Copies of this chain bind each other. A is one copy, B any other.
Amino acid sequence: MPDTHTLGFMMDRIRALLTVIEEGSVNRAAVRLRISQPALSRQMQALENELGGKLLERETSGVKPTALGHALVRSMRPLVADYKAAVAELRRQARGERSELRVGYLISAAQSVLTPALARLRESHPEVKLKLHDLSPREQIDGLRAGELDVALIGQEGAVAASEFYSARLGSLGVCVAVAEGGELATRPKIALKDLKGCDFIGIDEEQMPGRNQWMSALCKTAGFKPRFSVVVDGITNVLSLVASENAVTLLPAYFQEFKHPGVTFVPVPDARAKWDFTVLWQRGKVPASTRALVQELKEAAARFA
């Protein structure tokens, strides 16, 4: 005997019992529930059998809950309410009426384009409630996969996940190379990719920045060589520290030129093909209007920015 009966069926019976107790009468509850009185009567008997105790005191003038019946009401009424609310929310969501929009981004990378886009979204869709999550690229992808994010703003790493989600390229930044402050390279105003041939490269952990090392390799390949990754570490800060201490190099999106790191200089890379794509990813399937709106604003903001 599968206990499949003991779940959904009981739920119906419980819901029925709630109205029976509200009405104080099987008869009146039956009309409200649009079923016949005998049917409802039997439902109550079934529920009492399932639970193993009387729930209603049958009297000549109607029914009255027993102590057990009261206990059931107390524990179940909020559950039923929550359940109905949850179903309603899911229905809205299925129709693409999400009012909450969960956005993942990396503050250092996304700020310049995200901030104006959000400002305009607030004007055009003031009803949308935003939840912003400052996350690493890897966390953003995981968040999308787990359904915890609706939109992710991500760099080159997005390429590895683009097939799982809808995506749009927002724009391209230039590339710079991080070199040790003391070295010869640090004095140049710019460094072509081919000049990096033979340098030690610092890689970054694939877990945190998926696709980043491949991106570097691909860039170097356009310059005709294969980079040698002497070390792979986790965390961009550690990468930069190693650049300084090991007198090595690494490739980064151009916005790093705005930052500072002790012992490290960022030098632009002029190669035309050295580009850092900036991507927005969002959930596949029925796309909520709010998501669509944000993506649109992002595209426009990126276009203005370029």
Q: Which residues of A contact B (CB under 8 A)?
A: 2, 4, 6-13, 15, 33-35, 51-54, 65-72, 74-76, 79, 82-84, 86-87, 89-91, 93-95, 146-148, 150, 283-286
Contact = CB atoms under 8 A, between A and B. Distances in A.
B53 A94 contact: yes
B53 A71 contact: no
A15 B8 contact: yes
A8 B8 contact: yes
A41 to B, nearest CB: 16
The 10 closest A-B pairs by CB, nearest first: A70-B147, A53-B94, A8-B12, A8-B8, A8-B11, A75-B86, A67-B283, A52-B94, A67-B147, A11-B11
Nearest to A69: B147
A149 B299 CA distance: 63
Contacts of A72: 90
23 contacts: A6-B87, A7-B11, A8-B15, A11-B83, A51-B90, A51-B94, A52-B94, A53-B93, A53-B94, A53-B95, A54-B285, A67-B150, A67-B283, A67-B284, A68-B93, A68-B94, A68-B147, A70-B146, A70-B147, A70-B148, A71-B147, A72-B90, A75-B90
B52 A91 contact: yes
A285 B9 contact: no
A273 to B, nearest CB: 35
Most buried by B among A9, A67, A147: A67
A65 to B, nearest CB: 7
Contacts of A8: 8-13, 15
A15 B147 CA distance: 19
Contacts of A15: 7-8
Most buried by B among A10, A35, A72, A87: A87
A8 B285 CA distance: 27
A146 to B, nearest CB: 6
B4 A33 contact: yes
Given A34-B2, A68-B90, A146-B70, A53 B9 contact: no
A148 B70 CA distance: 8
Most buried by B among A79, A89, A150: A79
A209 to B, nearest CB: 24
Nearest to A1: B34
Contacts of A82: 79
Contacts of A33: 2, 4
Nearest to A146: B70
Contacts of A13: 8
